[in-house]
Amino acid sequence: MRTMSKPRLSVRALLVAALCAGCGGGSGLKSDGSAGAGGTDAGAAGTGAGAAGQSGAAGAHADASDTTTAIHDAAATIDDAADGAEDSIARSDGTDRANDASDARVEAPLRLAANGVPIPPPALAKNDCAELRVQSVACSLNDECAPVSCDCGGSPLVFDQCISGSCLAGISCSAACATQSDVVSSVFGCLTNGVCKSASDCPQAADGEACLVPPNAAIGECVTRDANSPCLADADCRSLECVVTADGVGLCSPRNELCNTDAHCAPGSHCALAPGAFTGQCTNGMNGSLCLTPSDCKPSLECTVISQGQSAECTSRGVGAPCLVGTDCKSGDFCVNGTCDAGAVGDPCSSKSQCHVPLFCSVSIQSCSQGALGDLCVTDSECQGFCAGGTCSDGKSGSPCRGDHSGCVAGLHCPSTGPLICVGP
């Protein structure tokens, strides 16, 4: 990409100036490309081109006019070649490649999130393989890789390990040095997943692995096309959606999870989005589902932060609603194992305090009970009478008695032999 900071010094002008430095007027070029005296600022490239032009002119034995024509023709050829080389360099530069890709994405049809916010075209994560211009060669586990290093202003990066059967053979030092903190893990990912130009370069191509090449890039990276795989379009995902995350990165996401639009959610669900955001979460508005506003919840449900939670949820505060503490539930209900409960017979509990009086909590089955004759128990505190042999007893005739032959009401006894059942005299 040509710089616009000052006029480009044409190879044609440099060549003519060098060859005609002594031709009559003694005029040449200033370093900014304009006419000036002496022609001393042509630079190393201009001096070399001038020497080559002088040699060609001497070998041709032409007159001054023919020589001037030959000079201009040769200069035109060299100038055109320089234009092509300059364009090639610009296209291979990581920064200009990113700018070109951005320009291409701007022209893509504008998509809107469910809340009307524009969705940026999905991009790859910073330091992707294409931006770093990673090149690799095959290696074996015990091979030593030829070191590839970047000076990075005195804080060098050196890559010399065989990773997943690949050595780093080349990298853009300008891109690598710009983000040293992340580049090592990025290079590791590139070598582990595989750098590619087409799907045939990917080790798991037979299993559906693809080569994801960004716009205007020469290389890409091998991707699985499964959940959390990088993507630039839905076609880059396997039965998944290419969702743009909050930082603009495209990731394959299962239906009904991360979303930009309602189409990313299952039937009956929608994409809950914060104001100004283009990335949200699918929700069905039922008890316990995520919400941002009351409109994300079914009628009669509240959208509230449960106790000290970090995100709000839809809740009825009634039986079955999510909770962390008892105050998350309606008055008179209890919070048991993250769910509001009525504390009635058969309802879950972990202590007697989670059951309505006069009920008990049967620890063995973790549910509220009446503690009546025959109810399961572990201790006396779970029964109206006492616990004998794992069930509640009232000590009356025919009821269980304790293993120490106690527990029967007056006038009855627990036999020393036979079944432990209260009997008469």
pLDDT 10s digits, 96-154:
333 333 333 345 578 899 999 999 999 888 778 888 888 888 888 778 889 998 888 88
**Final residue belonging to a domain, choices 204, 235, 266:** 235
Residue at 150 is within a domain: yes
Examine the domain organization and report whether 310 and 358 are in the same domain. Answer: no
Examine the domain organization and report whether 307 and 368 are in the same domain. Answer: no
Angle at 185 between CA 204 and CA 139, to 5 degrees: 50
Task: Give 364's pLDDT tier (boundaries 50, 70, 90).
Answer: confident
Task: Give 309's pLDDT tier (boundaries 50, 70, 90).
Answer: low
Domain count along the chain? 4
In the chain, % of residues over pLDDT 90: 32
- Is the sign of the CA dihedral 99, 104, 106, 110 positive or negative? negative
318: Cβ contacts below 8 Å, ≥ 6 apart = 329, 330, 333, 340
**Final residue belonging to a domain, choices 314, 335, 356:** 335
> Is there a cis peptide before residue 358, judged by omega within 30 degrees of 0?
yes
Which alpha helices (H) appear in 93-136, and where do they start and end? 94-106, 129-132
- Quote the pLDDT of residue 355: 92
Residue at 392 is within a domain: yes
Q: What three-state secondary structure class fits 169?
A: strand
How confident is the prediction for the chain on average, in pLDDT?
Answer: 75
Amino acid letter for position 138: A
239: Cβ contacts below 8 Å, ≥ 6 apart = none
In angstroms, how far is CA 417 from the centroid of its own chain? 72
Examine the domain organization and report whether 124 and 231 are in the same domain. Answer: yes
How far is Cα 41 from Cα 156, in angstroms, rounded to an integer? 35
Match 């506003």 to its residue by tokens: 293
Examine the domain organization and report whether 221 and 155 are in the same domain. Answer: yes
* Mean of pLDDT values over 335-348: 90
Residue at 126 is within a domain: yes
Examine the domain organization and report whether 367 and 350 are in the same domain. Answer: yes
- Quote the pLDDT of residue 279: 95
* Mean of pLDDT values over 11-39: 34
Has this prediction a pTM greater than 0.85? no
* Mean of pLDDT values over 23-44: 33
Examine the domain organization and report whether 189 and 124 are in the same domain. Answer: yes
Residue at 219 is within a domain: yes
Examine the domain organization and report whether 322 and 348 are in the same domain. Answer: no
Examine the domain organization and report whether 27 and 64 are in the same domain. Answer: yes
Give the model confidence (pLDDT) of 155-208 as tens digits: 888 888 888 888 999 998 888 888 766 788 888 888 888 888 898 888 888 888
How far is Cα 169 from Cα 167, in angstroms, rounded to an integer? 6
* Mean of pLDDT values over 236-242: 88
Higher pLDDT, 417 or 40: 417
Task: Give 308's pLDDT tier (boundaries 50, 70, 90).
Answer: low
Is residue 277 exposed (0-12), middle (13-18) or buried (19+ Cβ within 10 Å)?
middle
Residue at 268 is within a domain: no
Residue at 407 is within a domain: yes
Higher pLDDT, 414 or 24: 414
- Quote the pLDDT of residue 41: 30
Residue at 160 is within a domain: yes
**Final residue belonging to a domain, choices 277, 304, 335:** 335
- Quote the pLDDT of residue 178: 83
- Quote the pLDDT of residue 8: 33
Examine the domain organization and report whether 317 and 373 are in the same domain. Answer: no
Crossing angle of the two packed helices 64-92 and 43-60, in degrees rounded to 10 = 140
Give the model confidence (pLDDT) of 205-226 as tens digits: 888 889 999 888 888 999 999 9
pLDDT at position 320 over 80: yes
Examine the domain organization and report whether 421 and 370 are in the same domain. Answer: yes
* Mean of pLDDT values over 307-327: 84
Residue at 181 is within a domain: yes
Cα dihedral 82, 87, 91, 96, rounded to 10, equals 110
Examine the domain organization and report whether 311 and 351 are in the same domain. Answer: no
Domain span at residue 168 reads: 119-235
Examine the domain organization and report whether 354 and 376 are in the same domain. Answer: yes
